[in-house]
Structure 1
Amino acid sequence: MKPSITLKSLDNSYCKQIQDLILPIQQIEFNVPITLEGQPDLLDIESNYFKDGGNFWGALHAENELVGSIALLSVGHQTAALRKMFVKKEFRGRELNIAQDLLEILIRYCRDKKLKDIYLGTVDVLKAAQRFYERNGFEKIAAEALPAYFPRMKADNVFYHLKVI
């Protein structure tokens, strides 16, 4: 039986669950050398994502366990930065389609807000994530091709762009 998954916008009451989802995936599963201190946005998602027109969504299993996340940071210039896309290992895959559903919410939101470009940074060890982005129309670009106003994360070394139509 397919587990019950609810997608919804998250507020600061979910900060601890967001940290508990993201940090182990980054640090333990993929050995990315990044800490909570290097991601202060996870301490106050409302101030960091909502204030300029962005959002932060989560996938909740049985309405209370956070199993997936995606965030949109509005950076001006009708442009968004896709951030914090993570799905707990046991909830990944096309059967549940959580990553796809989260990405579709973000893209719909961009269209509604008349945002024309989405950029993202990731790390080279996240090969499945890169394939996922490419399957969804994102094009790999050089770091030099990023707009000057794109807020780069220190650990990121692979970059993508999607033209929203």
Structure 2
Amino acid sequence: MNTEIVVKEYHGVYQPQVMDLILQIQQDEYHIPISRSDQPDLLDIENFYQKNKGNFWVALHHDQVVGTVALLDIENNQAALRKMFVAKDYRGKIFKTAAFLLNTAIDWARKRKIQGIYLGTTLQFKAAHRFYEKNGFQSILLEDLPPKFPVMKVDKKFYKYTVQK
């Protein structure tokens, strides 16, 4: 089995696969009542994420999108980690997709002198909580988020990662 995952910067050709992957995980796997229309950022990734110090990446296996991650520039050398999703069959130690995506985002942040990466997630994503904590994210309260952090209605748990030089 070829386990090679390639992480690339997002290009519009991946938009349908990105939307399908994220909605499938949110709706089918975790039964989160969120729709395409609740996520207008996914319809305009280039203008929403790929500006200033932000970016969006896809993880590919044989040109199929199997994971995503984004950094949204929220000013003051801070970024929000968004849209971290990995297809079920590509999670874990065999493919290491989530680790590749997260490391890509952190390396990007470091090179752009981003000091803190913040994220919000749902209470249902227990495995994601463990993953973030294992990778140096510290749990924080809602009131500890930067003023420009975009809290989603489904976000109930928050984290901060301090980017080291």
TM-score relative to the length of structure 2: 0.96
Q: How does 1:1-165 map to 2 (within 5 A)?
A: 1-62=1-62, 64-165=63-164
Cα deviation, 1:55-79, whole Å, max 9, x if unaligned, reads 11111111x1100110110111000
Distance 2:9 2:40 in 1: 19
Which deviates further from its counterpart, 102-111 or 46-55?
46-55
What are structure 2's unaligned runs of at least 5 residues? none
Please give the secondary structure, in 1, of the residue aligned with 2:143: helix
Please give the secondary structure, in 2, of the residue aligned with 1:50: coil
On the 8 A contact 2:3/2:94 being kept in 1, the answer is no
Instruction: In structure 1, give the amino acid aligned to 2:69.
Output: I
Which deviates further from its counterpart, 123-132 or 49-58?
49-58
Please give the secondary structure, in 2, of the residue aligned with 1:51: coil
Distance 2:148 2:59 in 1: 29
Q: How far off is 1:27 after superposition?
A: 0.7
On the 8 A contact 1:74/1:81 being kept in 2, the answer is yes
- Report the aligned-residue RMSD: 0.9
Distance 1:44 1:15 in 2: 9
TM-score relative to the length of structure 1: 0.96
Q: State the 4+ residue runs in structure 1 displaced beyond 6 angstroms.
A: none
Distance 1:147 1:121 in 2: 12
Please give the secondary structure, in 2, of the residue aligned with 1:68: strand
What are structure 1's unaligned runs of at least 5 residues? none
On the 8 A contact 1:120/1:161 being kept in 2, the answer is yes
Cα deviation, 1:143-163, whole Å, max 9, x if unaligned, reads 111111111112111100011
On the 8 A contact 2:70/2:82 being kept in 1, the answer is yes
Instruction: In structure 1, give the amino acid aligned to 2:61.
Output: H
Cα deviation, 1:85-110, whole Å, max 9, x if unaligned, reads 01100111011111001100000000
Q: How far off is 1:53 after superposition?
A: 2.6
Distance 1:81 1:147 in 2: 10
Distance 1:4 1:133 in 2: 23
Please give the secondary structure, in 2, of the residue aligned with 1:94: coil
Please give the secondary structure, in 1, of the residue aligned with 2:7: strand
